[in-house]
């Protein structure tokens, strides 16, 4: 503050400020443990004034979640240039940045937080999964995926979620290792599917065509061959 005068905020500005304050608190501790009093105090306003902008904690929680969901979906955006493995690796780094920044809130949400079961919350989580799914298809340059590819992509997204959740529980494995591992897991799940289905085989060959000889996929294949021998 450079002046002693506290500027009066407009309604939307105040709402956005409260969402930011709440999201910050929900990111540090489980939302169940954060009270409206704390949010009011952190925002420098009274408790009744919080209720003036949000009828209850659930509506403030859902608004914070909406902002977090937009933030996360935004991090999936990646230019469609260069090897696929490198693109996915960069997205994984931003995904773990997000998980790192919002640890307790992310865990609480995905493990069944205060608003889970609310249809608004479930719809938000699904919208982020759908954004991830569509991004991956766009990078693979596939508009109408066969059922087996849809399964590989969607089940890998859930694998990425659970890997992040397990990482948050103690952080016993360096996150950079898990970011690389998830890129390899994607290739491995696609390869398992391709091993038993010709259409997936052709898709996988197309996907890997432009991967460099020193890229993550070539590295993995080399290591797997060494492991098998």
Q: Please provide the distance, in angstroms rounded to a whole number, between the alpha carbons at the two ends of the chain.
A: 66
Residue 43 CA to residue 49 CA, distance in Å, equals 10
CB-CB neighbours of 117 under 10 Å = 9
Is the Cα torsion angle 45, 48, 53, 57 positive or negative in sign? Answer: positive
Question: Which x/- pattern over 20-59 shows residues binding its own copies (rule: CB under 8 A)?
Answer: ----------------------------------------
Q: Does residue number 163 form part of the binding site for its own copies (CB under 8 A)?
A: yes
> Quick one: which segment of 13-21, 50-58, 131-139, 145-153 binds its own copies (CB under 8 A)?
145-153
Q: Does residue number 11 form part of the binding site for its own copies (CB under 8 A)?
A: no
Question: Which x/- pattern over 90-129 shows residues binding its own copies (rule: CB under 8 A)?
Answer: ---------------------xxxxxxxxx-xx-------
Residue 169 CA to residue 153 CA, distance in Å, equals 25
Question: Which x/- pattern over 177-196 shows residues binding its own copies (rule: CB under 8 A)?
Answer: xx-xx--xx--xx-xxxxxx
Q: Which one of residues 35, 70, 130, 155 is an interface residue with its own copies (CB under 8 A)? A: 155
Is the Cα torsion angle 96, 100, 102, 104 positive or negative in sign? Answer: positive
Residue 229 CA to residue 224 CA, distance in Å, equals 9
- Nearest Cα neighbor of 107 from 161, 54, 143, 59 is 161
Applying CB under 8 A, the residues found at the interface with its own copies are: 111-119, 121-122, 147-148, 150-151, 154-155, 158-159, 161-163, 166-167, 170, 172-173, 177-178, 180-181, 184-185, 188-189, 191-196, 201, 204, 220-221, 223-224, 227-228
């Amino acid at each position: 503050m450079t002046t002693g005068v506290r500027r009066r905020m407009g309604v939307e500005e105040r709402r956005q400020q409260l969402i930011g304050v709440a999201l910050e608190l929900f990111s540090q501790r489980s939302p169940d443990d954060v009270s409206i009093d704390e949010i009011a105090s952190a925002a420098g306003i009274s408790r009744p004034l919080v209720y003036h902008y949000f009828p209850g904690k659930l509506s403030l929680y859902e608004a914070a979640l909406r902002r977090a969901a937009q933030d996360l979906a935004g991090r999936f955006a990646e230019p469609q240039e260069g090897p696929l493995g490198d693109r996915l690796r960069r997205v994984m780094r931003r995904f773990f940045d997000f998980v790192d920044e919002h640890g307790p809130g992310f865990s609480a949400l995905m493990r069944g937080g205060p608003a889970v079961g609310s249809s608004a919350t479930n719809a938000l989580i699904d919208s982020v999964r759908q954004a991830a799914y569509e991004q991956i298809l766009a990078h693979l340059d596939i508009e109408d995926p066969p059922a087996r590819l849809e399964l590989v992509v969607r089940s890998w997204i859930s694998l990425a979620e659970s890997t992040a959740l397990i990482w948050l529980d103690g952080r016993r494995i360096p996150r950079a290792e898990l970011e690389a591992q998830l890129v390899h897991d994607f290739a491995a799940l696609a390869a398992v599917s391709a091993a038993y289905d010709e259409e997936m085989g052709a898709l996988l060959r197309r996907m890997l065509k432009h991967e460099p000889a020193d890229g993550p996929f070539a590295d993995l294949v080399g290591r797997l061959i060494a492991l098998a021998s």
